[in-house]
Amino acid sequence: MAEYDLVVRGGTVVGAFGTTRCDIGVRGGRIVALGERLGDAAQVLEADGLLVLPGGVDSHCHIEEQMPDGSVIEESFASGSVAAFAGGTTSVVCFVQQWKGHGIAERYWEHKRRGATGMLDYAFHQIITDASDLALEQELPALVADGLRSLKVFLTYDPLHLDDAQYIRVLAAARRHQMLVTVHCENYHAINWRTEALLKAGLTAPKYHSWSRPPVVEREATHRAIALAELVDQPIQVFHVSCEEAAEEIARAQARGVKVWGETCPQYLTLTADHMDRSNPADGAFEGAKFMCSPSPRDTAEQAKVWNMLRRGVLDVVSSDHSGSGFYNSIGKAAAGRDAPFSQIPNGIPGLAARLPILFSEGVVKGRITLEQFVALTATNPARLMGLAPRKGSINVGADADLVLWDAKKKVTITNALMQHAIDYTPYEGLEVTGWPVATLRRGEVVMREGKVEAQPGSGQYLPRAPYDLLIPRNILANDFDAAPPL
């Protein structure tokens, strides 16, 4: 009988803290050995000339979410799994919706059932849009017992946003249950005020989306989100940071010792507000809708500042925020018509498959970040912050054998077909990247080889998360009074 189920032989193995050339021995879906000239294996995968990276962990993507009208977003767990594997991602943390006036339990259990139809390993953030006693007091404990460990709140968007009082209630509930709170930081009232004025002035095209939400509204909401989390003594992560102003708020809080982390996305490193000013003969100015997301992409000067925040470690996760709506159909970006004002065009862009290739090409190849930083940003850090480590996010003995064989020199021009997602476009169409995944392994099984996904539907696993040290409150409280003691 062979000593190993699989040996990945001769690759350059990359971790967040260093790089070495060695073999990887896999048994029972886990890494059991790292060394030279490992012994007999039932299967050998030659990796000579390739990098071997930990499978990507995407801690911010929207997959198969249900809407109040009974519809479901275009990306399913099946199609999302294909896109993820094609791009080198093996685990995701995605979202369970809550609708105002409803609880959270029914949607959670239904979404878990849907997740089981895919191939990805998956965990959840529970969105809270109604901070009711039903949701936070009656239903949340059972979800925590099932392995839910993070909540998501919006400080903007109808009908999702929470006011300050509701946000504090969520922070307090999370503290009691030792959970992470993830936050979309933009000022609801400021955006609505700017939007109303823009529409009144007849400025309705997609490009004015960026005018409706300048950096100051992100900076203000980030400051407020952190301040209230500091008051409650609750760890938070600020999602999709687009500008230096917001990142500096995070940096100042981190310098005080506050447990706050920041994330950005490839769109804030490659796209600009000018993309929303595009037009073509067929679609006119509506072409700019392809690039609409919130916060808005900024400009090239702001991109350089966000890269600097990644190098500094102020922002330590790069996720996709994969949340695309189709462009050419009538149910996505054009749901309100192709002449709709920007305020009625659904936000969000697809990026699940593009995340690793873009960050590698724009970051590592162009010398903005190191190879080790790339691994940390896309796998090790999100796994650690989300409570998925040491099982996910690194190539260590005992970890799941989630691996990506990466050709660091391969040049590829991104097309929508290569993304293999359910969305009918990619905002990165035509972008040339250097570096591409040639094989993806999930728990020791080759699930993608040369762009062809080989995994079986239903083979993904739910990833329950237990309490972990990063979420322990600091116990630094105003007047030493704890208004939300942990359970």
Q: Assign 3-state DSSP to the chain and report helix, strand, coil percentages, each to 5.
A: 35, 25, 40
Give the model confidence (pLDDT) of 143-177 as tens digits: 999 999 999 999 999 999 999 999 999 999 999 99
Write the pLDDT tens digit of every residue in 54-91.
Answer: 999 999 999 999 888 878 899 999 999 999 999 999 99
Distance from C-alpha of 296 to C-alpha of 335, rounded to nearest angstrom: 20
Pairing of the two strands 4-15 and 18-27: antiparallel
Query: What pLDDT is attached to residue 242?
Result: 98
Count of domains in the chain? 1
| Whole-angstrom distance, CA of residue 306 vs CA of residue 312 | 10
Residue 195 resides in a domain: yes
pLDDT score at 487 = 81
Helix ranges (H only) for 157-243 are 164-177, 188-200, 208-212, 215-232
**Domain assignment present for 46:** no
Using alpha carbons, select from 396, 381, 387, 402 the residue that is nearest to residue 464: 387
* Domain annotation covers residue 12: no
> Which two tokens mark 433?
């990247």
Establish if 25 belongs to a structural domain.
no
The domain that holds 253 is classified in CATH as 3.20.20.140
Q: Is residue 405 part of a domain?
A: no
428 is written with which tokens? 């990165």
Q: How far is the C-alpha of 259 from the C-alpha of 474, rounded, in Å?
A: 8
pLDDT reading at 387 higher than 90: yes
Residue 203 has pLDDT above 90, yes or no: yes
Q: Which residues is 122 bridged to in the sheet?
A: 92, 462
Task: Please give the residue range of the domain that contains residue 250.
Answer: 55-375
Short-list 101, 138, 309, 278, CA closest to 205:
278
Place of tokens 């609750």: 234
The mean pLDDT of 213-224, rounded to a whole number, is 98
**pLDDT tens-place string over residues 15-49:** 988 999 999 999 999 999 999 999 899 999 999 99
> Looking at the domain assignment, is residue 315 inside a domain?
yes
Q: Kindly state whether residue 420 falls inside one of the protein's structural domains.
A: no
3-state DSSP assignment of residue 88:
coil
**381 within some domain:** no
Rounded average pLDDT over 101-126: 97
- Can you tell me the mean pLDDT for 339-368? 97
CB atoms within 10 A of CB 487: 9
Separation CA 277–CA 297 (nearest Å): 12
Smallest CA-to-CA distance from 463 within 387, 396, 399 is with 387
CA proximity to 275, closest of 58, 431, 456: 431
**What is the overall mean pLDDT for the chain?**
97
pLDDT band with cut points at 50, 70 and 90 for residue 399: very high
Q: How confident is the model over 256-261, as a mean pLDDT? A: 98
What pLDDT does 486 receive? 83
